[in-house]
């Protein structure tokens, strides 16, 4: 699907680099099929040296060369980025945005009429090729455009297709979710220290436990509640710990966290 296509990145920050790395490691494209822009010379040099891809200063040059454009600038820089590429974008190109809170309508209003736009909400674990992304297609995007986006984001993790109205919820859950899990790992580590473990030992056990539990959910296909019950034997240690978590309201607090982040994403989208 990506054979013979040039993929251009407008912005070469962490997310763009993760996607470049994922595409190359999955052998979906070769380095000469990628071009990336960035206003910072040092960053352009880093990307070129690490991945042997062409780098340029102006997004306009990316727009002229690439048939798939990935908008990977910060939300506050999107206006300027769109202005820079508008003259080099037409209805033959696929435009994919990974900027949080920037709607398809916002992008469409600043590019020529009929441009094919896909909006995506990836998350930080894409940096280690274990991300989760929600993607939604714009009015003029085709089924092939959506498939292109799915292939690209599958190179850095898992992908789900949703309606754009649900991307705020994706942001609240998987976009912000890594921070909740980091906090959980930190708390588990502190707990291990409290009961006598060395901090490095507790940290390793906590992080690996979270990783292993997530793999069990993804690879077994079983409901998390069912897996939980396989660990919690009658009158044992696990059920005692689960009781403490339920008594402390962990489940409700996590739900409230996702709701709060979702609401904030909606607010940012209305700015």
Q: Annotated binding residues for NADP(+), as ranges?
A: 10-15, 72-75
199 in Cβ contact with 189 (< 8 Å): yes
Q: Give me the torsion for CA of 59, 64, 68, 71, rounded to 10°.
A: 10
Residue with tokens 């942001």: 171
DSSP letter for 111, please: S
Q: Output the known binding site.
A: 10-15, 72-75
Length of the chain in residues, anyone?
271
Going through 138-261 in order, the beta strands assigned E by DSSP cover 157-161
In this structure, what are the phi and psi dihedrals at residue 207, rounded to the nearest 5 degrees? -65, -45
Q: What span, in angstroms and rounded, lies between the C-alpha atoms of 190 and 223? A: 28
Please name the residues in contact with 235: beta carbons below 8 A apart, sequence gap of 6 or more. Answer: none
72 in Cβ contact with 16 (< 8 Å): yes
DSSP letter for 163, please: -
In this structure, what are the phi and psi dihedrals at residue 71, rounded to the nearest 5 degrees? -85, 105
Name the residue among 98, 252, 76 with its Cα closest to residue 171. 98
Q: Is 118 helix (H, G, I), strand (E, B) or coil?
A: strand
Q: Is 58 helix (H, G, I), strand (E, B) or coil?
A: coil
155 in Cβ contact with 23 (< 8 Å): yes
């Amino acid at each position: 699907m990506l054979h013979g296509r040039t993929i251009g990145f407008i912005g070469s920050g962490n997310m763009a680099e993760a996607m470049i790395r994922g595409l190359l490691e999955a052998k979906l494209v070769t380095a000469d099929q990628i071009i990336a822009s960035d206003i910072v010379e040092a960053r352009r040099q880093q990307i070129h040296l690490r991945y042997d891809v062409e780098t340029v200063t102006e997004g306009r040059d990316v727009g002229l060369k690439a048939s798939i454009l990935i908008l990977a600038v910060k939300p506050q820089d999107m206006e300027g980025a769109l202005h820079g590429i508008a003259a080099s974008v037409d209805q033959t190109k696929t435009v994919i945005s990974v900027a949080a809170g920037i709607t398809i309508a916002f992008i469409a209003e600043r590019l020529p009429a009929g441009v094919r736009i896909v909006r995506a909400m990836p998350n930080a674990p894409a940096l280690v090729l274990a991300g989760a992304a929600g993607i939604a297609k714009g009015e003029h995007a085709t089924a092939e455009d959506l498939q292109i986006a799915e292939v690209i984001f599958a190179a850095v993790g898992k992908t789900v297709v949703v309606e754009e109205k649900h991307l705020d919820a994706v942001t609240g859950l998987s976009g912000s979710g890594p921070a909740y899990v980091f906090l959980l790992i930190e708390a588990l580590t502190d707990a291990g220290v409290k009961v006598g473990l060395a901090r490095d030992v507790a940290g390793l056990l906590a992080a690996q436990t979270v990783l292993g539990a997530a793999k069990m959910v993804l690879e077994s296909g079983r409901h998390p509640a069912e897996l939980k019950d396989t660990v919690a034997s009658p009158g044992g240690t696990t059920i005692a710990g689960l009781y403490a978590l339920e008594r402390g309201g962990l489940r409700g607090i996590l739900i409230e966290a996702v709701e709060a982040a979702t609401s904030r994403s909606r607010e940012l989208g209305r700015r």
